[in-house]
Amino acid sequence: MTRITSCFTGIFFAAFLAACGAGETPSETAATTTPASENDIDLIVNGSHIVTMDEVGTIIENGAIAIDDGVILAVGSADEVTAKYSAAVTLDGERRIVMPGIVNGHSHAAMTLLRGVADDLALMDWLQNYIFPAEVEFVDAEFVRIGTELACWEMIRGGTTTFVDMYYYPDTIAQVVEDCGMRALISATVIDQRSPDAENADDGIRKGSGFIERWQNRNSRITPIFGPHANYTLNAGQLAATRDAAMKYGVPISIHLSESPFEVQNSQNTYGMTSIEHFESIGFFEGPTIAAHVVWPTQEEIPILAERRVGVIHNPTSNMKIASGIAPITEMLEAGVLVGLGTDGAASNNDLDMWEEMRLAAFLQKVDRMDPTAIPATTVLRMATSGGAAAIGLGDTIGSLEVGKRADLIQVAFEDVHHVPTYDVVSHLVYVSDEQDVASVIIEGKVVMLERKITSIDTERVAEEATALAARIQAALKERNEAN
């Protein structure tokens, strides 16, 4: 069943595919899309419900969104919007819920290629004995390209439109993001050990600075940032030096913070204080910070996170799988901390499914507090959209469907058996829907998935490349295990 109506001709996609370098379609046809009047626009997306996630949680029945030049021009009833605008492409809204694209606030995208390579281990054992050695051995620019493409494919398929990544070869990540049409904050990793792309922390800062100079203000969808790994993999001077470099370029930092009891104890042993107290003492929070995990903040530290506007990214699946603990999300939200959601890398999750993160975020708080009213569905949906956008510093740009914001939105199909009946759309989005229900994905006004067909990534090629690379990794691991 096709859901494109109106005057769709394929021209729009030809222009898009040519622009992102992903297609073979010739670009000369694009000229015929030149608008005849200001009400001739790129795209109208209809929905049986538009879940705007604006300040007051407006939901519009039989609504539509008008989009031109990557920006939302109008949000209203389908009748009003279609009466006013004429679009080159219109997406039908029958049994389609329209909502903002999902924000994945913490990922290591290319780790999709290490999915399942080592499971059921504690964080430090997993990192030091499996992940770090495997990365030094296998991760190069080619690994990062293929792994990130695989991740972008998986994220688009699941309705994620923005992610905050921390991995190696950030130029390669940025190139993949530029080509596949997603939005991302991409961290240049800084860690005080030999990594796949740097010798030590100083080298990481130097190379990261080059990356930021190359990518800053180059593409409106891409924000290059610094990613100092954690309080236990960098010393105080290196953390401060990374923050200084970030301040110099005016970019945020993403970091793992207060993730495990090990980290808290290690910080106590080294500095006589916790990670958050330590960061506060060295002025680390004076620039914008996106902090992943934050499982173990004390009652005294939560107000610091709120006051410093630290964006906390909750990763319930990873925290559960590695048994890092249960983050006090309810207390942080009550204290006014900005909280978003993330998947973490696919080696500790083991997928990039944000619908699962939403459900687990809700359930984990409810069972931890033995209180079913803890973080209700609307709060969780906000953490995955407008709240997540605010936590990563893009609250004015994306995260809700409002006039003037960038057009990052998805259509979720409500036609599976698990959507029958539907009494409450938000309840269903959080407690029922999953990534297979995402039908279409629009980022910056471009349709990157249409009725489950991804248009911006050559998925067949990526699947072949990922399978071939994984076979090489598996053979090398087997050889290494046999030698030991």
Binding site for Zn ion (CB under 5 A): 344
- C-beta closer to Zn ion: residue 344 or 353: 344
442, 407 Cβ separation under 8 angstroms: yes
Cβ 335 to Zn ion, closest distance in Å?
A: 23
Cβ 237 to Zn ion, closest distance in Å?
A: 23
- C-beta closer to Zn ion: residue 68 or 344: 344
Cβ 292 to Zn ion, closest distance in Å?
A: 5
Beta-bridged to residue 87, according to DSSP, are 41
Cβ 396 to Zn ion, closest distance in Å?
A: 26
Cβ 324 to Zn ion, closest distance in Å?
A: 10
**Cα 132 to Cα 189: distance, rounded to the nearest angstrom:** 13
- C-beta closer to Zn ion: residue 230 or 442: 230
- C-beta closer to Zn ion: residue 192 or 344: 344
254, 164 Cβ separation under 8 angstroms: yes
- The answer to whether the peptide bond before residue 170 is cis (omega within 30 degrees of 0) is no
- C-beta closer to Zn ion: residue 319 or 455: 319
Cβ 258 to Zn ion, closest distance in Å?
A: 13
- C-beta closer to Zn ion: residue 50 or 131: 131
- C-beta closer to Zn ion: residue 257 or 413: 257
Cβ 360 to Zn ion, closest distance in Å?
A: 16
Cβ 98 to Zn ion, closest distance in Å?
A: 31
Which residues lie closer than 8 Å to 1 by C-beta, 6 or more apart?
none
Q: Which residue is nearest to Zn ion (CB)?
A: 344
**Cα 67 to Cα 101: distance, rounded to the nearest angstrom:** 14
Q: Give φ, ψ of 412 to 5 degrees.
A: -105, 125
- C-beta closer to Zn ion: residue 349 or 400: 349
230, 236 Cβ separation under 8 angstroms: no
- C-beta closer to Zn ion: residue 154 or 344: 344
- C-beta closer to Zn ion: residue 105 or 445: 105
Cβ 130 to Zn ion, closest distance in Å?
A: 15
Cβ 106 to Zn ion, closest distance in Å?
A: 6
Cβ 482 to Zn ion, closest distance in Å?
A: 31
Cβ 124 to Zn ion, closest distance in Å?
A: 14
- Pick from 398, 392, 186, 170: nearest CA to 289: 392
- C-beta closer to Zn ion: residue 12 or 232: 232
Give the per-residue SS3 of the chain: CCCEECCCCCHHHHHHHHHHCCCCCCCHHHHHHCCCCCCEEEEEEEEEEEECCCCCCCEEEEEEEEEECCEEEEEEEHHHHHHHCEEEEEECCCCEEEEECEEEEEECHHHHHHCCCCCCCCHHHHHHHHHHHHHHHHCCHHHHHHHHHHHHHHHHHCCEEEEEEEECCHHHHHHHHHHHCCEEEEEEEECCCCECCECCHHHHHHHHHHHHHHHCCCCCCEEEEEEECCCCCCCHHHHHHHHHHHHHHCCCEEEEECCCHHHHHHHHHHHCCCHHHHHHHCCHHHCCEEEEECCCCCCCHHHHHHHCCCEEEECHHHHHHCCCCCCCHHHHHHCCCEEEECCCCHHHCCCCCHHHHHHHHHHHHHHHHCCCCCCCHHHHHHHHCHHHHHHCCCCCCCCCCCCCCECCEEEEECCCHHHCCCCCHHHHHHHCCCHHHEEEEEECCEEEEECCEECCCCHHHHHHHHHHHHHHHHHHHHHHHHHC
- C-beta closer to Zn ion: residue 92 or 344: 344
